Structure 1
Amino acid sequence: MTTIRSIDPSTGVQLAAFEEDSEEFVESRLAAAAAAIPQLAELGWDGRAGLMRAAADLIESEIDELAAVITAEMGKPIAQSRAEVSKSAYGMRFYADNAEKFLAGRELDNPEAVSASAARTRFEPLGVVLAVMPWNYPIWQVVRFAAPALMAGNAGVLKHASNVPQSAVYIGELFTRAGFPHGAFSTLLIGSRRVEAVIRDPRIAAVTLTGSEGAGRAVGATAGDVLKKAVLELGGSDPFIVMPSAELDAAVATAVTARTSNNGQACINAKRFIVHEDVYDDFARLFAERMAALVIGNPADPATQIGPLATESGREDVEVLVEDAREKGATILTGGRRGDREDGWFYEPTVIADITTDMRLYEEEAFGPVASLYKVSSLEHALTVANDSPFGLGSAFWSNDAEEIARAEREIEAGAVFVNGMTISYAELPFGGIKRSGFGRELSMEGIREFCNIKTVWVA
């Protein structure tokens, strides 16, 4: 079996190592998950909600230790790791409080229209759901699936990213520690090559994946072949549009955060900054200055604003995109190289202007602190550039013109439009994309319903 390693991206030093799970162990986890389904049903809404709140209390009580693990494994600045843990606890409580309401179903007001004395819809769990999750939010990404799935009465098995095995083990044990039935949620320490067999297992009812476009294609193809429900949240190349009426200082400050949070490694990071020519020069100057001023260093140090990229290959991917743009005539306003530190996988916050359509950055997602800057002459031009992308996850639109805002809401091709702000995932709002950013939704009422059978009941 393969060894799964936890490597500190700040130093390249191994933190821990785990042997990949055997076939016999995987079988035992799948059997336990299937056996947990009737036990989850017996708990009822109140029982599951009580256990979910216990899980939230547990993760909150261990925030210091867990945040340190997140930062050590994937390089997120420690304050952001703590925020991730707190957000996860909030998400658990949100579904504990709202799941029953979200899945209440409805009675048809006029059953005589369908020749019935009564007619209703019911929401029932599908069964065991496989979650294939990424490393960039190693706890929150899992919780935003696990909390609604468990509250709906589904069981879950997790195949986490192989570079965050300590986080995977923690979250795989959390719900059992909180009192959920054995097997209701657990982790499989397996490589990506073994995911297909798990999806094909008849005990798996559905699959959800957050990750790369390539991984989404593979998982989606397998799920489609065996006719199982899938939710895919894939890459993004989110536009951040700034119009002349915007509050420029606020737009610049938010742009820096939107591009560099999580060290620039989030699918909903703003990546393409599309700025009207009337304010372009001022925006570009301030944006480059503030990106260059960010403190790069050890992510465990509270003063650090930018830590390392999570993997060495990830940094190489960013370097290739930047060098391709540089060689084809792009202008590097700041950054564009590895950090000064000799250890770890650091890359400087970067702003690139004069992007042309023949550059890979024009179409591909840069998963690191690299911002592409575009000058546009009108709202029409801005929307054209924004939509000229294979992705459609989030977006931000900065303007104080009501007509411009209304048009942006209608015409930006994305799963979300944030006006005078940055794209963020909230438990209260549905999250997901269109085009090559995937399909289906997480969070809110829409997310908990994804892995339910919407059953029609007709009474003569």
Structure 2
Amino acid sequence: MSNRITTINPATEAEVATYDRMTDDQVTEAIEACHAAFETWKLVSLEDRAEKIKAFGQVLRDNKEDFAELMTREVGKLIGDGRDEIDLCAAICDFTAANGPKELADEEREIPGGTGVITYAPVGVIYGIQPWNFPCYQVVRYAVANLMAGNGILLKHAELCTGSGLYLRDLFEKAGLPKNLFTTLLIDHDQSDKVIANDHVRGVTLTGSDSAGRVVAGEAAKVLKKTVLELGSNDAYVVLDDADLDLAVESCVQGRLYNAGQTCVAAKRFIVTEANYDAFVERFTEHMKAMEPGDPTDSSTKLGPMASIQLRDDLAKQVEDSVAKGARVLCGGEVPDRKGAYYPATVLVDVAPGQPAYDDELFGPVASVIKAGDDEDAMRIANDSRYGLGGGIFSKNEKRARELASRHFDTGMVCINTYNLAIPNMPFGGVKNSGYGREHGGFGMKEFVNAKSLYMA
């Protein structure tokens, strides 16, 4: 592997920047410096930590345009989506600053002969391995929660957005957090395993594929370190017999194409009952066909490039394999003859088990539409997946939809008559091969703390 990292603009295929990887000695020094910063930070009061996190949220807002433009250059994100991403991250900072001191405050309980105290002590340096699809958000959602808890942060960002990882480091320091408390590592996979094994590292969090999750969880298990994993998914959006079809079509198009379909919690499988199938497919395909790929720096563009040529080609292969096994393309489905990592909005029907479009995660603007016999059959198909991150239900009977979502949908999150990406005060995470642990909603602040019991006589 090269000792240099070069980032490429996926819309133009031009080089963005080149960076040197760190040597093993530099990595060790960086971890030790982060741990030293943690030793001071852990003694800072909850209220003072919250003030720094609130200040970081403001720094994000103050630098929104520059950061959004950087994300567009590195991963092809639509400029408007980049701005929205930073707004979400700033809102996460606001929520964490407002709620962290209360969530992490000592609790008292009655015990025989005295008082029991539960105190949430930080554990040390937390190592995050993060993907490229949301260069700011993926980092902020684990880093801010753990900084609030008093931990130090190491980041191995995806190579595609190396510049974003370094930019975040600079913004944390600009907000007044101690130098080295948030440290970005420019390393390869072999070095990453050594980071996991380092004694100063006390926890590991990964957002990525289920195959990457198995590797990272296995490395952490060897040294008895806790992990939080947010992995892939194949989210099903179910259109029941009594659905509002106009709302369902509009929401499903948004849920499939947001961020060029490169979202773990995107709508990916569309399971439609026989009563609505033909009408849904016709309207949905019309909307998807109208989404022309374009320049991600143009605010009017609705569909930008994928994050790299390799990712685009991998998606195209999944579509080809699905068609070879019986799926049918209603629109899109072919790599365009143009510069850049573009792939058209694509609709597949006749999707069945054994095809990548049914079994696997298609991380790009490709929709798998599946016919169900009735509502019960639709829910069965929705749960017929090794993944369980998110999903959705469209039904005019909200009471029944809530019942189906809470009791029958085997996922960590369910949208009812809408599509949502993430909200700061709601937990985020999945089940089955989509991982374990939760972020947001106060839950992430307690994933890597020592819930310490004090027995006061």
TM-score range (shorter-chain normalised) is: over 0.9
The equivalent position to 2:386 in structure 1, one of 387, 390, 408, is: 390
Task: Note if contact 2:33-2:180 (Cα within 8 Å) is conserved in structure 1.
Answer: yes
Measure how far apart 1:43 and its partner are.
2.5
Partner residue, 1:299? 296
State the alpha-carbon separation in 1 of the partners of residues 306 and 40 from structure 2.
42
State the alpha-carbon separation in 2 of the partners of residues 394 and 188 from structure 1.
31
1:78-130 per-residue CA deviation (whole Å, 9 max, x = no partner) reads: 1001111111111112111111111124222x42xxx3311121111111000
Partner residue, 1:65? 66
CA 1:69–1:358: 2 relative to 1, 3 Å: same
Q: TM-score, normalised by structure 2?
A: 0.97
1:408-431 per-residue CA deviation (whole Å, 9 max, x = no partner) reads: 321111001111112421110111
Partner residue, 2:81? 80
Whichever residue aligns with residue 359 of structure 1, its letter is Q
Tell whether 2:365 aligns with 1:369.
Answer: yes
1:144-185 per-residue CA deviation (whole Å, 9 max, x = no partner) reads: 011111111000010000111110110122212211112111
Task: Note if contact 2:328-2:349 (Cα within 8 Å) is conserved in structure 1.
Answer: yes
Measure how far apart 1:339 and its partner are.
2.9
State the alpha-carbon separation in 2 of the partners of residues 283 and 409 from structure 1.
25
Unaligned runs of 5+ in 1: none
| Higher mean C-alpha displacement, 350-359 vs 171-180 | 171-180
Whichever residue aligns with residue 69 of structure 2, its letter is A
CA 1:116–1:424: 2 relative to 1, 3 Å: farther
State the alpha-carbon separation in 2 of the partners of residues 146 and 39 from structure 1.
17
State the alpha-carbon separation in 1 of the partners of residues 354 and 443 from structure 2.
38
Whichever residue aligns with residue 84 of structure 1, its letter is E
1:198-231 per-residue CA deviation (whole Å, 9 max, x = no partner) reads: 0000000001000111211111001111000100
Tell whether 2:166 aligns with 1:166.
Answer: no
Partner residue, 2:49? 48
| Higher mean C-alpha displacement, 77-86 vs 422-431 | 422-431
Unaligned runs of 5+ in 2: none
Partner residue, 2:175? 178
Tell whether 2:6 aligns with 1:5.
Answer: yes
1:224-243 correspondence to structure 2 within 5 Å: 224-243=221-240
1:317-346 per-residue CA deviation (whole Å, 9 max, x = no partner) reads: 111111112122212111111234x10110
Task: Note if contact 1:379-1:404 (Cα within 8 Å) is conserved in structure 2.
Answer: no
Tell whether 2:248 aligns with 1:246.
Answer: no
The equivalent position to 2:419 in structure 1, one of 419, 422, 426, is: 422
Partner residue, 2:334? 337
Task: Note if contact 1:353-1:372 (Cα within 8 Å) is conserved in structure 2.
Answer: yes
Measure how far apart 1:404 and its partner are.
4.4
Task: Note if contact 2:237-2:391 (Cα within 8 Å) is conserved in structure 1.
Answer: yes
Partner residue, 1:352? 348
SS in 2 for 1:445: coil
The equivalent position to 1:190 in structure 2, one of 187, 199, 223, is: 187
Measure how far apart 1:37 and its partner are.
1.7
Measure how far apart 1:405 and its partner are.
3.5
Partner residue, 1:121? 118
State the alpha-carbon separation in 2 of the partners of residues 358 and 227 from structure 1.
37
Measure how far apart 1:192 and its partner are.
2.0
SS in 1 for 2:361: coil
State the alpha-carbon separation in 2 of the partners of residues 356 and 101 from structure 1.
49
State the alpha-carbon separation in 2 of the partners of residues 208 and 264 from structure 1.
23
Task: Note if contact 1:416-1:423 (Cα within 8 Å) is conserved in structure 2.
Answer: no
Q: TM-score, normalised by structure 1?
A: 0.97
Partner residue, 1:29? 30
1:374-415 per-residue CA deviation (whole Å, 9 max, x = no partner) reads: 111112101110111000000101112233441232111100
- Paired-residue identity, %: 38
The equivalent position to 1:283 in structure 2, one of 277, 280, 285, is: 280
Whichever residue aligns with residue 139 of structure 2, its letter is V
Measure how far apart 1:257 and its partner are.
0.6
Task: Note if contact 1:149-1:156 (Cα within 8 Å) is conserved in structure 2.
Answer: yes
Partner residue, 1:445? 442
The equivalent position to 1:262 in structure 2, one of 234, 259, 264, is: 259
State the alpha-carbon separation in 2 of the partners of residues 193 and 163 from structure 1.
18
Measure how far apart 1:41 and its partner are.
2.7
Task: Note if contact 2:232-2:264 (Cα within 8 Å) is conserved in structure 1.
Answer: yes
SS in 2 for 1:163: helix
User: CA-atom RMSD, angstroms?
Assistant: 1.2
SS in 2 for 1:444: coil
Tell whether 2:133 aligns with 1:140.
Answer: no
State the alpha-carbon separation in 1 of the partners of residues 179 and 409 from structure 2.
45
Task: Note if contact 2:292-2:344 (Cα within 8 Å) is conserved in structure 1.
Answer: no
State the alpha-carbon separation in 1 of the partners of residues 289 and 452 from structure 2.
55
